Amino acid sequence: MARILDGKAINQQILEELKPRIARLAQTRRKPGLAVILVGNNPASEIYVRSKVKTCVDLGMLSEEIRMPDTISTADLLDRIGTLNRREDIDGILVQMPLPRQVDSRAVLLAVQPDKDVDGFHPYNVGQLVANAPAPRACTPAGIMEMLKRSRIELAGKEAVVVGRSDIVGKPMALLLLHAHATVTICHSKTHDLPAVCRRAEILVAAMGRTAFITADFIRPGAVIIDVGMNRVTDPAEAARVCEGSPAKQAAFEKNGSVLVGDVHPADMAELASAYTPVPGGVGPLTIAMLMANTVQSAESRLA
């Protein structure tokens, strides 16, 4: 039986460890503060932002949610970020991605003061990551590393394959695995014979955003699989394919008319992996935990 890597439980552990640090800051100086900027009303972004704000409030931190219309100009958004940069009570600034097309996303990432960049997306912090120097790390890959560590999954010398080369997940993930002494391969849509490359993986990270694309022929038996995908399936034929062999997923689809599935076929993963992250309840909760950890760390450094 494969071991299920329970993101919710590890999220709770991390949040519990943050509580005394937050209490100490609140008693001696002030609460850590996080500002979250949400532009427009992308439904997925709305869900993520709600969850980030709620976790922040539950932990007793200052949380400020800033909503802006999807017609916003780059200049107006930069102006708002400038104000947050200057505020003493704000330790972290997060601009939820993706941004509308007319906005210059790179200019936005550059505008966030690096010491308040709790997403780790500023080019300075990306450079620090490449150099394996201290700085806030992108939350999803950092959360995955924390999960691997707390689950005592050895990485040194292991074959790790990351599928997907995004700036938010794939690239930083590959660097963190490399710094943990894994032998790392990054794959993408142009990779020749993707199943064969993935079958080399002792640690397989799927982060390309394609529903249940990784099937049995991609999986080395006994691999540890980290599924970063989060796809909502509503089409019945597609649901039949992705739910095959997973009675719980089938039941969820029958009940709700939709089901959440990652980038890895759930039944194939459960059958072949030695350990894996479920969707939902695997990687997602860790992203939020690491955002909170980055915000507390930023407050501690700024108030030291």
Which stretches of the chain bind ligand GUN, using CB under 6 A?
94-97, 119, 139-140, 168, 287
Which residue lies nearer to ligand GUN by CB, 167 or 235?
167
Which residue lies nearer to ligand GUN by CB, 162 or 168?
168
| 150: amino acid identity, one letter | R
Q: Is 52 a residue of the active site?
A: yes
CA terminus-to-terminus distance, the chain: 47
Q: Considering only the C-alpha atoms of the chain, give the largest distance between any 2 of them, rounded to a whole number of Å.
A: 58
Cβ-proximal residue to ligand GUN, closest one: 97
Shortest Å distance, C-beta 183 to ligand GUN: 26
Sheet architecture: strand order including 62-68: 62-68, 33-39, 92-95
The catalytically annotated residue of 91, 96, 249, 268 is 96
Give the residues across from 264 on adjacent strands: 214
The catalytically annotated residue of 31, 52, 116, 249 is 52
Shortest Å distance, C-beta 96 to ligand GUN: 5
CB 14 within 8 A of CB 146: yes
Q: Is 102 a residue of the active site?
A: no
Task: Using alpha carbons, select from 84, 83, 80, 88 the residue that is nearest to residue 35.
Answer: 84
Which residue lies nearer to ligand GUN by CB, 10 or 223?
10
Which residue lies nearer to ligand GUN by CB, 15 or 35?
35
The catalytically annotated residue of 91, 119, 227, 263 is 119
Which residue lies nearer to ligand GUN by CB, 137 or 265?
137
**Element at 108 (helix H, strand E):** helix 105-111
Shortest Å distance, C-beta 293 to ligand GUN: 13
Distance CA(77)–CA(121), nearest Å, equals 16
- What phi and psi values does residue 102 have, to the nearest 5 degrees? -75, -10
Q: Is 119 a residue of the active site?
A: yes
Shortest Å distance, C-beta 139 to ligand GUN: 5
Give the residues across from 261 on adjacent strands: 231
Shortest Å distance, C-beta 22 to ligand GUN: 21
- Report, as residue numbers or ranges, the catalytic residues: 52, 96, 119
